Structure 1
Amino acid sequence: MPLRWEALYLGNISTDIDSIEGNSVGGVFVSENASSPSVLGTYGAGGDRGGLTTPIYENQHSVTTVNRFGSTATLSANNNGNLFEFFQTDRNGDGTAENYNFDGLFRYQVTLTYFDGTTADTTVLIAQMDNGDMWLVPPFSAGLPDPTLTAKAISNVTLNSAVTNQLFDLSRDRQVIAFACFAEGTMIQTPDGAVHVQDLAVGDTVQTHDNGAQAIRWIGRATVDLEQAPHMQPIRIAAGALGAGSPSADLIVSPQHRILVRSAIAQRMFGASEVLVAAKQLLELDGIELAEIGDSVSYVHFMCAEHQLVTANGALTESLFTGPEAMSSVGPAARQEILELFPELAEVETAPVRPLVKGRHGRKLAARHQANGRDLLS
């Protein structure tokens, strides 16, 4: 019974959709403002509702539902003497989960606008909190999946009409889905601003942490069947999980993808304040977990002339490093292509941009940060 799942934050509105608690018609609870013009409209960057300045796909959060009275299977839409049930999530990215009082669940016919400008019409459930926050929640666990929610990264959600003015309690047991956000959503910093990783090409430049603008010399894309290769299950790093507001939005990477750690603990353990650690070694930390995204995942790798630190969704991470593990993971055709571009790699081992912390040492580093309550960037 999944009581924790992914939801999309749509922004905040001043209109209370269910303004009169307990209002009913014929024994059915109803909402007074489900069809209000101040509720209907477009949410997400450039939209006229919600106030977000970023696309919806950058506002995905893990939500835990907390039940305080009544049926443990639901969150009640009618609060009992101001005793609200709530969503628990780190929406502001400060590393600490906040409580948001659940006020009601509503069904809307919507148009989803994807990152590439294409659209899809569907019916979704929207939860509103008592402060006006709006959330698109996944379907009930026993219901049919909605492929429009995972087809591509969602930039905007337009509420066209209320399917009904009925007010619903929220079933806590919901589908655990991952809204597309890696191949179509991860933002890589370039000299001209952040660019979707799937839009990068050989010859484009990325902004590196140490050496300014550097050209991409090789780029590779691969779709992995996770049933055939479960060891390639991606890792989700929640917004703010690294500390210092990093990443700025949830970041999904392959298990071996290395993340920058900067801390006094790293200095004491390895003699260097900045080290690179594979994401899979950091799973003990809060906010870093296996990403449940379905049966397959698309990965994008890119390589500069030298190993570099680049910024992905606001987090410092690595470009492709041509060490033995990376070279064995890209496949024979990609290895041949890389060696044609960089023939010296066949004879000379390339140097990493920061010390690489491997295996149990990486896990021990994570454990010490967790035990001491220290961020990886501190």
Structure 2
Amino acid sequence: MPTTWDALYMGRIATNIDTTEGNNLAENRNATSVLGTYGNGGNRGGLTQPLYDSVATITTQDNVTPSTSLTANNTGGAFDFFQADRNGDGTPENYNFDGLFSYNATLNYFDGTTSNSVVLVAQMTNGDMYLVPPSSAAAENPALTAKAISSVRLTSAESDQTFNLSRDRQVPEFACFAAGTLIETPEGTVPVEALAVGDLVTTADGGPRSIRWVGSARIDLTRASHLRPVRISSGALGPDQPSRDLVVSPQHRILIRSAIAQRMFGTTEVLVAAKQLLQIDGIDTADDMADVTYVHFMFDAHQLVCSNGAMTESLFTGPQAMKSVGAEARREILELFPEIEATPAEPARPLVKGRKGRRLAERHAANGRVLVS
């Protein structure tokens, strides 16, 4: 259950949307001081930067009555809260949750295009506003992941209610290789962007396997910095691992093989997202890149492949990954693999997420141990 996920910080307003605790009415839902444009110098929230530069990692904490939701009606003086590192000091702060609201909105993208959509907005008691993803049980909102969002204009309340917030929410990111990555095949290494459906790729567990689907996207990182890749320098994982610098998306999982993994998780081999390994020398955010072309491919099953000499994952068709690839790609994948909807995908190795992944990296760094041994 993902109770830690990313949201877009919209800024802070002085108006409390839910003024009366104990009922479900959002009294100020359509106040003129609430409706308006947030982000990119808009007239609400006070943010000069675009929303895609205001991504906040939220950990939800149920402080009132332990449950799967944060409570909007805080009549007892205690609050459920968001944890987020808003001041950038590395330590998350607590922000008391006041309510979740549904709005008709216009999303303004980095390229000047727009999309009208119903969005969910969470407000804290200090006035902080967050554009939050749908709950894991709800249908996805493709407008949130179609392109990088510069600003959002709240036009009217879609509902007059104040809602509790389900802690289990969608995590809209995807994992993929950067163009130029060399993938091991039976015919030798091939640039990932040159691979096509039907090509054979060497896998760790099943030998040569045929690619069933390929997708790609070019990202302007000056407009979508939250998608900035991670560069794994040659040898950062272990001797000759990778054999040359490897650039992947933040969510792309890397194989870790070590005694520390065995002690922590009961198995020597686990998969960890690249963004959780930034404590390791030689693994850094690629701040020098202005743009990147991401490529992802999949087989009949989740596989480990050799990329620039390091073992990493193919596209995993778990629920969150399927929500993040976009509606068109998802339709194509489901046409090829209709069983995905009925049968959960099995990962090639255990997936270590969030804080556990960061803790794994921290222990390797503190003990001077390589990630692949």
TM-score normalised according to structure 1 size: 0.53
What residue number does 1:290 align with?
Answer: 273
Q: Provide Cα deviations, 1:166-189, integer angstroms capped at 9, x if missing partner.
A: 1111111111213x9999xxxxxx
Q: Is 1:35 matched up with 2:30?
A: yes
Task: Note closer, same or farther for the CA distance 1:129–1:229 as it changes in structure 2 (3 Å cut).
Answer: farther
1:107 to 102, 106, 121: 102
- SS of the counterpart of 2:130? strand
Aligned residues of 1:43 and 1:158 also touching (Cα < 8 A): yes
Q: What do the CA deviations read for 1:195-217 (whole angstroms, capped 9, x no partner)?
A: xxxxxxxxxxxxxxxxxxxxxxx
Deviation per CA, 1:217-266, whole angstroms, max 9, x where unpaired?
xxx979999x9599x99xxxxxxxxxxxxxx9645425xx2379xxxxx9
Q: How many residues align?
A: 249
Q: In structure 2, do the counterparts of structure 1 residues 168 and 325 end up closer, same or farther at CA, with 3 Å as the change threshold?
A: closer
Equivalent position of 2:134 in the other structure: 139
Report the CA distance shift for 1:92/1:34 in structure 2 as closer, same or farther (over 3 A).
same
Matched, 1:173 2:173: no
Aligned pair partner of 2:68 in 42, 59, 73: 73
Distance in 2 between the 1:117 and 1:60 partners? 20
Match of 1:53 among 42, 48, 51: 48
Give yes or no for contact 1:110–1:157 (8 Å, CA) kept in 2.
yes
Q: Quick one: structure 1 residues 365 and 88, their matched pair in 2 at CA, closer, same or farther if it must change by over 3 Å?
A: closer
Q: Does 1:84 align with 2:79?
A: yes
| 1:66 to partner: Cα distance | 0.5
Letter in 1 for 2:163: F
Q: In the alignment, is the contact (CA less than 8 A) between 1:10 and 1:136 conserved in 2?
A: yes
Please tell me whether the aligned partners of residues 10 and 54 of structure 2 are also in contact (alpha carbons under 8 angstroms).
yes
State the alpha-carbon separation in 2 of the partners of residues 103 and 91 from structure 1. 18
CA contact (8 A) 1:115 1:152 kept: yes
- 8 A contact 1:85–1:102 mirrored in 2: yes
Residue in 1 aligned with 2:185? none
In structure 2, C-alpha distance between the alignment counterparts of 1:319 and 1:139, rounded to whole Å: 28
Distance 2:92 2:112 in 1: 33
1:258 — aligned with what? 232
Runs of 4+ in 1 over 2 A off after TM superposition: 180-183, 220-225, 227-230, 248-252, 257-260, 276-284, 289-292, 315-320, 324-328, 363-372
The answer (yes or no) to whether the contact 2:68–2:167 under 8 Å persists in 1 is yes
Cα separation, 2, equivalents of 1:61 and 1:259: 27
Q: Which residue of 2 aligns with 1:119?
A: 114
Unaligned runs of 5+ in 2: 178-191, 198-209, 217-223, 237-244, 261-271, 276-283, 293-305, 311-358, 369-373
Structure 2 Cα separation of the partners of residues 157 and 71 of structure 1: 33
Gaps of 5+ in 1: 184-219, 234-247, 261-265, 267-275, 293-309, 329-362, 373-378
Provide the rounded CA distance (Å) in 2 between the counterparts of 1:222 and 1:154.
30
Residues 1:153 and 2:127 are matched in the alignment: no
Q: 1:365 to 1:137 in 2, by over 3 A?
A: closer
Q: 1:134 is aligned with what amino acid?
A: M
Question: Is contact 1:88-1:97 (8 Å) kept?
Answer: yes
1:125/1:137 contact within 8 Å kept? yes
User: Pairwise mapping of residues 169-318 of structure 1 onto structure 2 (< 5 A)?
Assistant: 169-178=164-173, 250-253=226-229, 257-258=231-232, 290=273, 315=287
- Identify the residue that residue 304 of structure 1 maps to in structure 2: none
1:11 corresponds to: 11
Output the aligned Cα RMSD.
4.9
In 2, the alpha carbon distance for the partners of 1:114 and 1:223 equals: 30
User: In the aligned structure 1, how far is the partner of 2:40 from the partner of 2:124?
Assistant: 21
Contact 1:281 1:366 in 2 (8 A): no
Classify 1:229/1:43 alpha carbon distance in 2 versus 1 (closer, same or farther; 3 Å). Answer: farther
CA distance in 2, matches of 1:47, 1:65: 28
Q: Is the 8 A contact 1:113 1:120 kept in 2?
A: yes
Separation in structure 2 between the aligned mates of residue 70 and residue 327 of structure 1, nearest angstrom: 49
How far residue 71 of structure 1 moved from its aligned partner, in angstroms, is 4.9
Amino acid in the other structure paired with 2:58: V
For residues 175 and 364 of structure 1, the distance between their equivalents in structure 2, rounded to whole angstroms, comes to: 24
Q: Percent identity?
A: 47
Letter in 1 for 2:229: V
Distance in 2, matches of 1:58 and 1:224, equals 34
Task: Say whether the 8 Å CA contact 2:100–2:162 is kept in structure 1.
Answer: yes
Please give the alpha-carbon distance, in whole angstroms, between the structure 2 residues aligned to 1:121 and 1:223.
36
1:290 maps to a residue whose letter is: A
